[in-house]
Amino acid sequence: MKKIISTSKAPKAIGPYSQAVEANGMLFISGQVPINPETGKIVEGGITEQTEQVMQNIKAILTKAGYTFDDVIKSTCLLSDMANFSAMNEVYANYYPENPPARAAFAVKELPLSVMIEIETIAVKQ
């Protein structure tokens, strides 16, 4: 059975999808963009600030569902420009200091709301 996960500490879905869905001990977090849930606006700054906000949004959803970053097994990072990969990677690495998850990272033509980054995440209860 699937369970819909929703928290006000992460941005509301901007389309017909859930923030996350849990099923069979797995948590699937929809792609998170750098929207500050308190203001409903994209954070100001560059890729560093945007990546930090995305990771905070992911953390809020993980926490609501009873997971942590240690439970994350896969991330997919979508970037508006691969020139931002290194700066994104520096922020991302702070959240996975040991045993980081599997990951794919690639540039796409355009992201929702013209943001610089979107990250989707899969976690599993150990």
- Structural domain total, the chain: 1
Alpha-carbon Rg for the chain, nearest whole angstrom, is 14
CA distance 18 to 101: 22
CA angle 93, 7, 67 (to 5 degrees): 45
CATH number, position 103: 3.30.1330.40
CA angle 37, 17, 63 (to 5 degrees): 50
Q: Is residue 77 within 8 Å of 92, Cβ to Cβ?
A: yes
CA distance 59 to 54: 9
pLDDT (tens digit per residue) in 58-72: 999 999 999 999 999
Q: Which domain holds residue 91?
A: 2-124
Q: Is the pTM of this model over 0.95?
A: yes
pLDDT (tens digit per residue) in 21-72: 999 999 999 999 999 999 999 999 999 999 999 999 999 999 999 999 999 9
